[in-house]
Amino acid sequence: MIDIFPIDQLDLERKRVIYRVDYNVPMEGTKVSDETRIRETLPTILMMRERGASIVILSHMGRPKGKRTEADSLRPIRAKLEELMNLDIQWADDCIGDEAESKSKALGPGQILFLENLRFHPEEEKNDPTFAGKLQKHGEVYVNDAFGACHRAHASIVALPRLFSTDKRAAGLLLLMELQFLQKVTHVSDRPFVAVMGGAKIAGKIEPLEALVKLADSVVIGGGMSNTFLAAQGRELGDSLVDHDSLEVAKRILASNGPKVILPTDLVVTDSIDKPTRVETISVEKGVAAGLKAVDIGPRTVERFTAAIAGAKVVFWNGPMGVFEQEQFAVGTKKIARAVAHANAMTIVGGGESVEAVNASGFADKISHISTGGGASLEFVAGISLPGIEILQR
Ligand code: 3PG
Ligand code: MG
């Protein structure tokens, strides 16, 4: 088991806490479409306030690549947090610099300051120690609850806590809970262990998947990710999203652990995601015609996947089965959410969209653990060490 410094050991009385969270929540314009990641930090915030701390909140949002973009501003998230806590929360337009520093220094016990997106500075993703030094000025203590970002060796996750002595840095209640649940998966003795994978972002997921296939009894793959596997088998995919850079790894996974991999046998295809004029179900064997793209798994595939999930004792799900944002193409994802919720198993769901699917289908309370990490929970379950957790280990 991983032994990590817990928040209880910190002296928080009249201390300013630098609190790193992952409020990179799914958005529709400036509206938060799923607030799970925010809600899950409230117990830690309440506890720190009760213990007499003031709090400086740090987070990233989106992938603005070191530039200031209105679309990736954390302002709407601050408003959401104010609403959830029914409390005034201060704001600074930059996470470093004079304005932010003077505001953090002026905080009294129980007060909260929310700082703008860390990723507006390129140094964040470079794990830059000088940038970390500027962030350090905001507090005397460091607490990390950003489980969703712990697989990133970024400045606020690694270089910053390194600047605090071990009695002044710790994991918050959310990070501790994530570890407690996810370690149940990595220490499973209950079998079969079925992993369900999907989503469009394949590049960062295929390496952990390669590790996960070795640990799981079977891996069900749908959504954008399955296109790449089907292409690796030589299937026709038409205009579907295929990650050509990941084809080699997909081939390697199929060659070494092919029998464990369960892929779609039918797909829902369309001519256009935004303005579909043609929507049909095709068999994978026949292939996707040129001009059409796969957007959901078909009904035969839903049955196949449901059967695999129903027989499991442990289920880990990461990534939707299709273009879930579009109601019309969310059918497969919702059916998989139902299957996971009804499995007589320990079930863990991670990743913004799969969590959204589970919440939207009303099955959230039937899932053993909803993780606030997507890539992070996947890497953790695949046995990969996360830099943000390593730095907090005893
Ligand atoms: C996530 O949403 O998975 C985390 O916030 C990390 O974001 P990233 O993949 O852009 O690093
Ligand atoms: Mg994301």
pLDDT in tens, the chain (394 residues): 899 999 999 999 999 999 999 999 989 899 998 899 999 999 999 999 999 999 999 999 999 999 999 999 999 999 999 999 999 999 999 999 999 999 999 999 999 999 999 999 999 999 999 999 999 999 999 999 999 999 999 999 999 999 999 999 999 999 999 999 999 888 777 899 999 999 988 988 999 999 999 999 999 999 999 999 999 999 999 999 999 999 999 999 999 999 999 999 999 999 999 999 999 999 999 999 999 999 999 999 999 999 999 999 999 999 999 999 899 999 999 999 999 999 999 999 998 788 888 998 899 999 999 999 999 999 999 999 999 999 999 9
Please name the residues in contact with 29: beta carbons below 8 A apart, sequence gap of 6 or more: none
Find tokens 């990534």 and name the residue.
319
* Ligand 1 pocket check for 63: Cβ under 6 Å: yes
User: Which among 352, 20, 311 has a CA at the least distance from the CA of 156?
Assistant: 20
Residue with token string 């793209």: 293
Strand, coil or helix: what is 237? Answer: strand
**Closest-approaching ligand to the CA atom of 152:** 1
Output the pTM of the full model: 0.93
Q: What pLDDT does 189 receive?
A: 76
Q: Is 243 in the pocket of ligand 1 (CB under 6 A)?
A: no
Rounded to the nearest angstrom, the distance between the alpha carbon of 318 and the centre of ligand 2 is 11
Catalytic annotation, pick one of 139, 238, 332, 352: 352
Ligand 1 centre and the CA of 115: distance in Å?
Answer: 18
In this structure, are residues 170 and 140 in contact, taking their beta carbons and an 8 Å threshold?
no
Ligand 1: which residue has its CA nearest to atom 3?
374
Predicted pLDDT of residue 184: 84
Whether 12 lines ligand 1, by a CB cut-off of 6 Å, is no
Task: Report the 10 Å Cβ neighbour count for 161.
Answer: 24
User: Two tokens at 325?
Assistant: 């944002």
Query: What is the 3-state composition of the chain as percent helix, strand, coil, each rounded to the nearest 5?
Result: 40, 20, 40
How far is residue 224's CA from residue 216's CA, in Å, rounded to a whole number?
Answer: 21
What whole-number distance in Å separates Cα of residue 34 and Cα of residue 27?
7
Distance in angstroms between the alpha carbons of the first and the last residue of the chain: 12
> Among positive and negative, which fits the CA dihedral 16, 157, 178, 364?
positive
Contacts of 281 (CB under 8 A, 6+ apart): 266, 267, 268, 269, 298, 299
388 lines ligand 1 (CB under 6 A): no
**Ligand nearest to the Cα of 374, by number:** 1
User: In the prediction, which pLDDT does 234 show?
Assistant: 97
> What pLDDT does 356 receive?
86
Q: Is 351 in the pocket of ligand 1 (CB under 6 A)?
A: no
In this structure, the chain runs to a length of: 394
CA distance 189 to 340: 19
Pocket test for ligand 1, best of 41, 61, 152 (most atoms within 8 A of CB): 152
Would you call 37 a catalytic residue per the annotation? yes
Residue of 201, 251, 313, 366 with catalytic role: 201
